[in-house]
Amino acid sequence: MRSVCLLFLLIGATLAACHAEDGPVKPSLTLQGTITHAQNHHYVRVPFQVPAGVYRITVVFHYTGKDEHTTLDLGIFDPQRFRGASGGNKARFTISETDATPSYLPGPVIAGRWVLLIAVPNIRPAVISHYQADIFFDRKPEIESFSDGPLRPNPGWYRGDLHMHTAHSDGSCPSQSGSQVPCPVFVTAEAAVRRGLDFIAITDHNTTSQYEALRELQPYFDRLLFIPGREITTFQGHANLFGTTRFLDYRVGTAAVPDMNTVALEAHRLGAIISINHPNAPTGEVCLGCGWKPQPPVDLHLFSAIEAVNGGAMRGPYSGVSYWEDQLARGYRITGIGGSDNHHGDWPVSHPDSVGSPTTVVYAQNLSVPSILDGIRAGHVFIDLTGSRNRMLEMSAAANNGPVSIMGDALRAPADSQMSITVHVAGCAGSTLKISVDSPNHLAFPSRIIAQDEETLHFTWSSDGKRHWLLPQVNMAAGDLELLGNPIYVNYPAIHPKREE
Ligand SMILES: [Zn+2]
Ligand SMILES: [Zn+2]
């Protein structure tokens, strides 16, 4: 920890500037001072220095004397220009290259002398107001959010859609007069609310312009978490990036980005996660680069997830489920997720390709961007192809009454140990539960018809001490896939499995 405090005088205000490099919780800089009646109807300039390499600046402002009708209004200037003003209506604001709190202007955070402008509309004679501005500089890349904290604090299963498009790429919907126009982000957000979703990732192609809209909408949609997302769209395939607003160079095949592995490594450097999209989609003049054909082939250890179920190909030859299962069979431990790939936010829930069809359901410690992404990384996920609000698929297992693992976890089961497996299914009466082992064609147990709307089933499985993956799924009576889980990985290394060629 390093801290330097400087005291100086400026226009009658005593300021203390404290610089600390000890993590995101403590401010990088604190500006303090006093305002008296002598400054009534004046503008108080509070300069401060922004170092090089800052991506985002956040200001939190407090002052005393409100009960005596003191009012202090805020504005801010960078070294070159005005960057916004919020009067007395925002005690906290943030500015970055891509997005800013409404009232403020996004753009690069330029190094140099910035000025916090405190306008004083009212302070009574004899009143002294003490103010403090805590200023945070984000430099190192990390998971980013549009909310200040979790939207819900409790652990649980959260439902979301991880793939959709708006006006910021090729999403469209009817205008007031009925023309198809670029569709505003809030239309997609409202579709997610109609579906009853807890989180969404708007994944417009390659651009970062959608984040400004999401920054504005998040406080209004305070039950719907927005995950910063983007569809990295290349000539060799598409991949969704989650958790960062920072630019990522998508120009695969150029000197700067020779191959898809470079994209994945850059995603990791930005603290984000990356997922392969619609891997079995065909490439052609209808959809350029839609198929997954990276040259050279990627190192799949760099990818956290595969979009096994894409709304445009829920079933049939273009479904990504077989591609995902092939990678599981090759020994990769990689999470299967879903995404609607919706391009028409206005479509009603009844439309087969509307927002939330399919829904990805994630077990997370709370409803926040870091926790949802942690849940995806961990494979604590099932896909609801019906986009319901209530269907559930949970599987847990323990060997010889040892620690309990859930979908996505590794489980140690020595040879001849007995694994007890519990599956909880809800909302699927009349459907069939299958648990496959190592291949979709090899069932660990005979299929079971689910009789009740809420049912818990128990199985016992003998381990041979070797490596296996056990994957649950539920099929409707007619055979269509309804719910798809993630594997429990038996006798895999706890964290990163070795590649099996
Ligand atoms: Zn795509
Ligand atoms: Zn897409």
Q: pLDDT tens across 234-246, in order?
A: 999 999 999 999 9
**For the chain, how many residues are written?**
501
Stretch 50-61: mean pLDDT: 97
DSSP string computed for 264-281: HHHHHHTT-EEEE--TTP
In the predicted structure, residue 17 carries a pLDDT above the cut 60:
no
Question: What confidence category does residue 497 fall into, taking pLDDT thresholds of 50, 70 and 90?
Answer: very low
- Please name the residue that has the structure tokens 């405090």: 5
> Of 199, 170, 133, which is closest to residue 370 (Cα–Cα)?
199
Question: What confidence category does residue 13 fall into, taking pLDDT thresholds of 50, 70 and 90?
Answer: very low
> What tokens were used for 464?
């041979």
Q: What percent of the chain has pLDDT over 90?
A: 90
> Which ligand does the CA of 277 lie closest to?
1
* Whole-angstrom distance, CA of residue 398 vs CA of residue 413: 8
- For residue 231, the CA-to-ligand 1 centroid distance in Å is 7
- For residue 253, the CA-to-ligand 2 centroid distance in Å is 21
Query: Please, what are the domains in the chain?
Result: 3-138 (2.60.120.380), 141-389 (3.20.20.140), 390-501 (2.70.50.30)
Torsion angle of the four alpha carbons 225, 227, 228, 229, in this order, in degrees rounded to the nearest 10: -130
Stretch 431-445: mean pLDDT: 96
Per DSSP, the three-state class of 241 is: strand
Ion ligand 1 nearby residues (CB, 5 A): 238, 277
> Which ligand does the CA of 289 lie closest to?
1
Question: What confidence category does residue 5 fall into, taking pLDDT thresholds of 50, 70 and 90?
Answer: very low
340-378 pLDDT, tens digit per residue, is: 999 999 999 999 999 999 999 999 999 999 999 999 999
Residue 381 CB neighbour total at 10 angstroms: 26
Q: Tell me the C-alpha to C-alpha distance, in Å, between residue 40 and each of 116, 129, 206, 476.
A: 17, 11, 48, 71
Per DSSP, the three-state class of 88 is: coil
Which helix (H) or strand (E) segment holds residue 192: the answer is helix 185-195
Per DSSP, the three-state class of 67 is: helix
- For residue 152, the CA-to-ligand 1 centroid distance in Å is 30
Does the pTM exceed 0.85?
A: yes
Question: What confidence category does residue 397 fall into, taking pLDDT thresholds of 50, 70 and 90?
Answer: very high
> Which ligand does the CA of 311 lie closest to?
2
- For residue 318, the CA-to-ligand 2 centroid distance in Å is 14
How far does the chain reach from its first CA to its final CA, in angstroms? 46
- State the pLDDT at residue 43: 98
- State the pLDDT at residue 207: 98
- Please name the residue that has the structure tokens 């939330």: 356
| Ramachandran angles phi, psi of 360, nearest 5° | -100, 125
Contact 402, 433 (CB under 8 A): no
* Cβ-based neighbours of 426, under 8 Å, separated by 6 or more: 390, 391, 392, 453, 454, 455
Q: Packing angle between helix 185-195 and helix 210-217, nearest 10 degrees?
A: 50
- State the pLDDT at residue 67: 96
- For residue 238, the CA-to-ligand 1 centroid distance in Å is 5
Positions of E strands within 311-417: 335-339, 359-364, 381-384, 392-399, 405-406, 410-411
Stretch 96-110: mean pLDDT: 98
* Whole-angstrom distance, CA of residue 485 vs CA of residue 379: 9
* Whole-angstrom distance, CA of residue 253 vs CA of residue 267: 17
- For residue 187, the CA-to-ligand 2 centroid distance in Å is 17
* Cβ-based neighbours of 55, under 8 Å, separated by 6 or more: 96, 97, 109, 138, 139, 141, 246
- For residue 204, the CA-to-ligand 1 centroid distance in Å is 9
50: β partners: 112
> Which ligand does the CA of 161 lie closest to?
2
> What tokens were used for 65?
């004397």
- For residue 344, the CA-to-ligand 1 centroid distance in Å is 15
382: β partners: 361
* Whole-angstrom distance, CA of residue 55 vs CA of residue 95: 9
In the predicted structure, residue 385 carries a pLDDT above the cut 80:
yes
Judge if the upstream peptide bond of residue 440 is cis by omega within 30 degrees of 0.
no
- For residue 20, the CA-to-ligand 1 centroid distance in Å is 43
* Whole-angstrom distance, CA of residue 161 vs CA of residue 173: 19
Q: Tell me the C-alpha to C-alpha distance, in Å, between residue 357 and each of 23, 99, 151, 362.
A: 39, 29, 23, 15
Question: What confidence category does residue 8 fall into, taking pLDDT thresholds of 50, 70 and 90?
Answer: very low
- For residue 202, the CA-to-ligand 2 centroid distance in Å is 9
- For residue 311, the CA-to-ligand 2 centroid distance in Å is 10
Contact 239, 251 (CB under 8 A): no
> Of 229, 226, 241, 231, which is closest to residue 192 (Cα–Cα)?
226
Question: What confidence category does residue 495 fall into, taking pLDDT thresholds of 50, 70 and 90?
Answer: low
Residue 23 CB neighbour total at 10 angstroms: 7
> Of 102, 11, 106, which is closest to residue 56 (Cα–Cα)?
106
Q: How many CA atoms lie within 13 A of 72 on its CB side?
A: 27
Question: What confidence category does residue 283 fall into, taking pLDDT thresholds of 50, 70 and 90?
Answer: confident
- For residue 97, the CA-to-ligand 2 centroid distance in Å is 24
> Which ligand does the CA of 342 lie closest to?
2
Name the burial class of residue 428, with classes exposed (0-12), middle (13-18) and buried (19+) by CB atoms within 10 angstroms of its CB: buried
> Which ligand does the CA of 230 lie closest to?
2
Question: What confidence category does residue 9 fall into, taking pLDDT thresholds of 50, 70 and 90?
Answer: very low
Question: What confidence category does residue 285 fall into, taking pLDDT thresholds of 50, 70 and 90?
Answer: confident
